[in-house]
Structure 1
Amino acid sequence: MTQSLQTPSSAGSGQMPSQTLIPQLSLQSMFWRPKFAKDPVWSVHLPVAFWLIEAQRPQRVVELGTQEGTSWFAFCQALERLNPYAECLGFTAGPPDAALVEHTDAQYQELARVRQASQADALEQLEEGSVDLLHVAPGVAKPIAKEWAHWQARLSARGVVLISQAGPGQPGEALYRQVREGRAHFLFEQSQGLAIVAVGAQQYESLERLLGFQPGQPGMRLVQQVFQRLGLACCATPPSGRPAAQAGDRDDAEAISTARRQAESARRAAELARKEAERVRCQADSARHDAERRIASLEQDKAHLEATLQVRDQEQETLRASHRRLEEERATRFDETAKLTELLQAAEQAQATAQARIEELEAARRQAQEEGERHARDHTALQQRHQVLKKQLEDQARELEQQAQQLESLEAARQKTAEQQAQQQDRLDAAERAKVALQGENATLHRQQQDRFDELAELTRMLEEKERRLAELNEKPKRLVDAFTTLGRPSKARGSRRASKEDLRLVKQSGFFDEGWYVNRYPDVEQSGMNGLEHFVKFGGQEGRSPGPAFDSQWYLLEYPDVAQANLNPLVHYLRFGSNEDRLPTPEAWQGEKHGS
């Protein structure tokens, strides 16, 4: 069971040409020959009954007021061919016709039963939401209208009501008006009228196309004419092994001849519809084969990219090992700080070089984004063509839709992987050059004044932050570029390190900062020579370190990139502005607010 993906507009459906409209609604069942056609009035609607069973695919069909059997055996015949595991129940107020029961047991014992029951008993035997198709047979519309609320509760999420004698002035017209209010509906005006009303919200596409027509549209008249001609063919041709019940009711041979000519015309129209459907099916098969070839090619590209990424991961691990060795060497040379000023100048030059490189990468990213938008437009055109094919053949449409989604996902993965690969290589090269320069400069360091120790610790933390962001490159490349761009603005970075006493007081009194939790979580804080509160306000918050379990700094910076771009401490921003702007401190709080709303 699927909910319809496309619903035709009233104007669009009604103005479709016949060579397009008929194939879209055409189903094989509408051309069947009935095995039982006793009532000449209801026999005209037999193609509608067959078509509705195939279009709606019900699991349970209920007929209220089963009498002579024309509609009843039409449902049984259709279910036997299309879904023999479905159930067909008929209810009569009085004792059911013995011949009808005998024929039902003989032909459809496994799926159909006729029961005598009052309306209250019938409602009690049916669970709520268990009926997919409810047929109100001739003569029972008035009592059903009084208990419509109870019958409506028995219909499923894709429930449909079929009302006989629903034409103007007929006994079922009042029930039809009551049920159709605010719902999609269609009235076959021939032979006292037969109305279809979609009560459930989930309907298959073929049925939604039919129900999308509005009274008076040319397309609606064409559909009625086609089904009327097919119905007259059922009246004119005796069913297999049984004389036609309505043949004796014809006044003369001329009426029979007219009906046969109309049936022949309907058969020719049906043959044209079948040919058109076959042509559309061939087009769909061709498109599906092209999609399969494209998917195979994309799978090969994906395997190649995965192998390349694995090599890059190994290179990253080597880079981390080099960085650890650098840290160990630098830890033993704190006494060589005489040339710290020269080192800072070199670092600023490296930052300027990195900023220039970032600008180049940003230009490359914009170019890649434009290329992605062009691919997206091409893909959108393919999707539009795919939607046209889906309207024509429902079964093939589902397969093509799944393939289109796979193509879109693979194309997005390919573009994202290519961008990540290029950006990762550039950043690894830049980081390697920076590390080689730092190793050479560290070899020439000597002892300098003790009051420069804090500046060296600050530089160490800046290098650690760069390495951490390189490690996150595979998951968040775009945010990495934004954060690295922010890091490249030295004037703002140095300004963010000067925490005011007001910021320290605000964080301390907020209840979010836990000194013991922070120091245990980040043991390198003790090596910096600062207490946990001062370290968090000056550096830790901007590095994505959380002050305690109640505030997630890294999530806050990623969720609100304007804070990261401004290089602000996330907790200070939240306390001063974010809480008043309904920003959240943790992803759990976002989930709670989402479920609460």
Structure 2
Amino acid sequence: MPSLSPSETDPAARILPCLGDEIFWTPAHDATGDWAGHLPLLFWAAGHADPRVAVTLDMSDGTAHFALCQAVARLDLACQCHGILDLPADRAAPLASENAEQYERFSQLHPRSFEPDAIDLLVVAPAVNPDLLDRLAKRWLERLSERGIVLLHGLSGADAGTLDALAALCEAHAHLRLDHGNGVCLLAVGGAPAEPVATLIDLCRDEAARLRLDMILNRLGAEPAPGPASGTPRAANPLASALAGLTGRRPEPGRTGRGDPSARITALAETSAVMARQRDAARTELAGRLDEIATLKAELAEQRAQTRDAQSRLVEGGIGGDLLERMIAREKRIAELAARNDDLIEQVETLTLQLDTRFDELAAVTDTANRTDSELLKTKKALKKAQAELREAKSRGKDETRIDKTGRAEKRATLLAAREGQLATQVTALKTRLELLHQRVVEMTAFENTRGLDTGRTRRTGGRAEFTTLEALHSEFAEAELNTPYFDSDK
């Protein structure tokens, strides 16, 4: 029977393949308040629950609802979005204006209710409290469909009464609770949630898998880039755009602009500083682990000396040769394990350097991809305008002046079409390069998982308890290295 790889048996290793490129998206609208840290999960839920009707309950700002609309527009979902808006006119007007400008085709803001079994995704905008949970249980859960899910936040600051009420809901329904931000909970209220939702909830019954997911979403949602004024799109994330390109999903029209150059330079400097801090933290942790290994090596050397003394005493005392042979074999095994440990340390250092290199290369390529994609969009717009001018010139021009204008328009359209083809070729080449880089990262991750499996076999073969501790520490560091994300850029 063939053996299973770690990624097939370890729930934590299966978390990342369950996540899509949605978690890397940059919010296109002003993201403020507590929901800003949970937008990666909201984007994922919108993309994988495949809702037909999505509702944002008790809107006080546009963070959650407009992120939901962004996902529906970007993924071109057949979904109607509803924001339950019951605010004074002066607060409701800006939200209504932005909604009408950006998402009028499929989004409405109103204080209405819904029929039973009508809602597939319910996003609760306010932080949880006892009254809200009571209203949710009595008035809203019955309105969710068989595949309906609910997203709640504000768990970490909740009082005992709120947590008790939430625990009752979690006991009655399949759920996923995460601790990042101010705490978030996904409730699968319907009996038949979409397969990706059910799979993620099932995987996260394993605590290691849940912690892995919590760490990933915390990294992505912890430091959002400063948002512009409400209604103004934010600069697109190059990494998110590149990953979207690999999956065939392109950013929303009008959301790939790069903004003011000075602001872009400032954002790049801030991103570089964040990356530098993360690398420094990883290297500091590596130094600490190496110090621990050095200490354990010293203890190992001392025990070797004691073993040699014991061997000498055995020889001098004429004690049985079998015991001496076992001690010699044990010493040989210790030496083999020590050599294996040295080799693993060297591999860790090599992988650390390779990851740094791959991350820098990926960042450069994705930035180029984003810039090229933006230029392609502008060229398409210019081509469309030129074609319109050409049609107008042909229909209205009979005299020499109009004929001349027609010729110029035709020439301009031809040039723009050629430029569009060149840019499309560049984008294709960049996608190919990104796929190669992504494959390399996957191979490196698989190598780390395999190394962890080999270490487990070493422990099963026996050996000293002290060296088992040494191997465990090394595995722990390898896991930390594996968990270091390659996507902290938020440009």
The structure that has the greater radius of gyration is: 1
- Which TM-score bucket, shorter chain as reference? 0.3 to 0.5
Instruction: Give the TM-score normalised by the residue count of structure 1.
Output: 0.37
Instruction: Give the TM-score normalised by the residue count of structure 2.
Output: 0.44
